[in-house]
Amino acid sequence: MTWPLGVIAHHGNILLRRRAQQGLLAGLWEVPGGKQESDETARQVLVRQFASSRGLLNRMKLVGEARHSITRYKIRAPIFFSSAATRTIPGAGEWRWVPLSSVAQYPLTSLSIKAIRFVVSRLRISGAKR
């Protein structure tokens, strides 16, 4: 399965959202992303995630990829990155700007941890504790 992720940074903060309280990985925090259907591109997946903040998508660049397995799923996760001009939070649901120095205090999905580590190590985002 392909699951594109969008890592968004703003002045040493990363945008996270909380998963629904039921279902797989209930209540965990994650970087935005979603399952890519057979009739859509990775960017179209992110359009769904950031529907009210399309400006973020214009600046998103593909920076890498993570591989992950959970239960019976093998996941290929293209990682997109963008620096946000403002701290606007897209869409409904529980979203939060989290300082990179505090990310480890949040219960994150393993795939999100991989994506954040990748972006921090490759792009040298400031504010992160390693």
For the entire predicted model, the pTM comes to 0.84
The pLDDT-based confidence of 55 (bands split at 50, 70, 90) is low
User: Tell me, what's the pLDDT at 51?
Assistant: 67
What phi and psi values does residue 61 have, to the nearest 5 degrees?
-125, 140
pLDDT, tens digit (0-9, with 9 covering 90-100), for 82-116: 888 777 776 656 889 999 999 999 999 999 999 99
Instruction: Please name the residue that has the structure tokens 């490759």.
Output: 122
Name residues whose C-beta falls within 8 Å of residue 104's C-beta, 6 or more positions apart in sequence. 129
The pLDDT-based confidence of 126 (bands split at 50, 70, 90) is low
User: Tell me, what's the pLDDT at 85?
Assistant: 74
User: With contact defined as beta carbons under 8 Å apart, do 57 and 46 qualify?
Assistant: yes
Residue 1: which of 64, 75, 68, 72 has the closest Cα? Answer: 75
Q: How far is residue 1 CA from its own chain's centroid?
A: 16
pLDDT, average across residues 12-39: 86
